[in-house]
């Protein structure tokens, strides 16, 4: 009986730990989703204004 009680206590602790991890991950997903939406909105506004980047002729990309 004691063994079963120990197992239940261990499983309950594991569930609490996993719940904490999932909650933190969901908070981060929500935060990142808001940031992506903001960036998409900004890029859409930039595209409408016509101020997007333009590659001219033989100009090398910035990573070269």
Residue 4 has pLDDT above 90, yes or no: yes
Q: Which residues of 27-64 are buried (b: 16+ CB within 10 A; e: fewer)?
A: eeeeeeeeeeeeeeeeeeeeeeeeeeeeeeeeeeeeee
CA–CA separation, 25 vs 45, rounded Å?
30
Share of the chain above pLDDT 90, in %: 67
pLDDT tens per residue across span 18-42? 999 999 999 999 999 999 999 999 9
The helix/strand count (H/E) of the chain reads as 1, 0
pLDDT tens per residue across span 41-64? 999 998 888 755 555 566 666 776
């Amino acid at each position: 009986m004691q063994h079963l009680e120990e197992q239940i206590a261990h499983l309950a602790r594991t569930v609490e730990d996993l719940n904490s991890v999932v909650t933190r991950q969901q908070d981060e997903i929500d935060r990142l989703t808001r940031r992506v939406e903001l960036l998409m909105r900004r890029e859409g506004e930039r595209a409408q204004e016509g101020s997007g980047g333009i590659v001219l002729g033989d100009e090398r990309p910035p990573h070269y």
